[in-house]
Amino acid sequence: MTTFDERELKEQLFEQNAINFYDFVTKYDDQMVPVMKARGYTCVHSMERTVAFTFGEFTFRRRRWKKGDKWVVPVDEKLGLKKNVRFSWEFMYQIARLSTMMPYDKVTQVIQLTYHITITKPTVVQAVKLCDKLLEERAAYRFYEESINRDKQKVDVIYIEGDGVMVKARDVDTDNRHYDLSHFVVHTGSHKVGSNRFELKDKKEFVALDNRLVREQVLDYLYNTYEITDQTLLITNSDGGHGYTPYIFKEIAKALKIKRHEHFWDEYHVNQKLKKFFKPYSEELLDRAFQAIKQHDKGKLRTVLDTTEALVLTEEELEAFEDFKRKLLNNFQYTKPAELRGFSHAGIGIMESQHRKITYRMKKRGMYWTVWGAETMSQIIVLSYEDKLRDLFFGSWREDYEKLVELESLSAGAIKIKLNQIKREYSLHKLSKKESLRAFWLNK
């Protein structure tokens, strides 16, 4: 039996690709000669350049035209190539997309295997840095976009969840240490999309190293996206950690003038704390504690805790017990089940599953990041999962943004500062000293 080697056919197809590409470039370059002359341009010379595309790497020659001080290269414009770039925009997008799925050295191997193009890890870093630049420009454009009046969405319920993701990273002047990526998710509920599968509606994720900055982004998004009325219900959920206390979410509700706000102490974290604390004690005490939470009976919970206290033997155990008891009782109001508050639990407690895409790529395997790399990677992972990474590279916003830059003659940072000076109708409420202390003691 004759063995068919698919690689040989693939090589032939690559060669045909090259023939087709060179033919396309030559024809287009010739086609533009009368057009450029009619526009008053003079052909100065023809030059070579080498560029890697998703369909192959090619060295090709094309004409360069000049009128006064202005240079134009029609073939480069047709191919979407900027000056001095070695890789096409689509190629860089695909490298960036692959970088969200696997380590950088694996990306180079996949590119070699699929495209027959050799790149190095610095090229992958270059693609991620390009994303960082585009994210900054997109953030600047967002401020401009929000200054335009748009129709707001009418919804009955808005859900917000927040939690931190710890990653190992190093800054220019620091060694490896843990950094907390602040991760918030906004949605408007869940709906069934399969026999046993649910999907969040209108899901929007925010992630960055600066907790307050992320909360401001959440606030901007909510204000500019949803029509807030007296009937709007805000449901929030968190583990109560630093940056995610009930008071943090109350700030958002107050800024948006939302009258009804229901906060939950994340059920998964509460259950984990109960299991861990009652592990040295009887199973019966744990079951009774769970029952007290389920029925939202604080008296029953106090009875369970009093019974447990009688079993404490050492000073160390007593100290741990007092800490656990204080936090549990101080935050007991946030453990009240959704059903007892008059609505469904569906759509609450989704944070751990939303973390997974970030932790899978950015944690374990001895992995560490630069600080900027950790923040950028977490953001492009989210964009990739939302199927919006392509929009970062090719969206219509880029054309609008470039016009804005040309008009204002400003950088992304300068545009953001300028537009941020516009007075908003809302802002994050700054906690008073009394409120801050109360939040600290309630969640200690």
219 and 352 together in one domain: yes
Q: Whole-prediction pTM value? A: 0.85
Q: Are residues 188 and 254 in the same domain?
A: yes
Is the pLDDT at 82 greater than 80? The verdict is yes
Out of 61, 93, 123, pick the residue that ends a domain.
123
Q: Which of 288, 183, 274, 294 is nearest to 237 (CA)?
A: 183
Residue 202 lies in a domain: yes
For residues 349 and 402, membership in a common domain is answered with yes
Cα(181)–Cα(386) distance, integer angstroms:
18
Residue 292 sits in the same domain as residue 401: yes
The answer to whether the beta carbons of residues 110 and 94 sit under 8 Å apart is no
pLDDT band at 417 (very low <50, low <70, confident <90, very high): low
* Of 443 and 199, the one with more pLDDT: 199
Question: Residue 406's pLDDT is what?
Answer: 76
- Whether 38 is in a domain gets the answer yes
Cβ atoms within 10 Å, residue 40: 9
Last residue of a domain, one of 94, 123, 152: 123
Query: Does one domain contain both 240 and 359?
Result: yes
Query: Does residue 250 share a domain with residue 170?
Result: yes
Same domain, 68 and 156: no
Residue type, 384: S
In a domain, 133, yes or no: no
Q: Give the structural domain span for 431.
A: 143-443
Could you list the beta-strand ranges (E) of 75-176: 153-154, 157-170
**Of 57, 88, 123, which residue constitutes the final position of a domain?**
123
User: Which of 108-112, 280-284, 363-367 is most confident?
Assistant: 108-112
What pLDDT is attached to residue 435?
46
Domain annotation covers residue 165: yes
Cβ atoms of 200 and 189 within 8 Å: the answer is yes
pLDDT at 415: 59
Question: pLDDT grade, residue 149 (50/70/90)?
Answer: low
pLDDT of residue 364: 75
Helix (H) or strand (E) holding 398: helix 397-408
Same structural domain, 192 and 325 = yes
Number of C-beta neighbours around residue 295 at 10 A: 13
Q: Is 73 helix (H, G, I), strand (E, B) or coil?
A: coil
58-74: pLDDT as tens digits: 999 999 999 999 999 99
Q: With respect to residue 273, please indicate whether it lies within any of the assigned structural domains.
A: yes
- Does some domain include residue 128? no
Q: Are residues 106 and 169 in the same domain?
A: no
Alpha helices in 229-297 (DSSP H): 246-255, 267-278, 283-295
Distance CA 354, CA 183 (A): 9
Residue 1 forms part of a structural domain:
no
386 in Cβ contact with 205 (< 8 Å)? yes
Distance in angstroms (rounded) separating the CA atoms of residues 24 and 293: 70
Does a structural domain hold residue 136? no
Claim to verify: residue 405 and residue 348 sit in the same structural domain: yes
Q: How far apart are CA 220 and CA 224, in angstroms?
A: 6
Q: Are residues 164 and 100 in the same domain?
A: no
Cβ–Cβ < 8 Å for 164, 363: no
- 260 and 117 share a domain? no
The pLDDT tens digits of the residues spanning 14-53 come to 899 999 999 999 999 999 999 999 999 999 999 999 999 9
Per the structure, the count of domains in the chain is 2
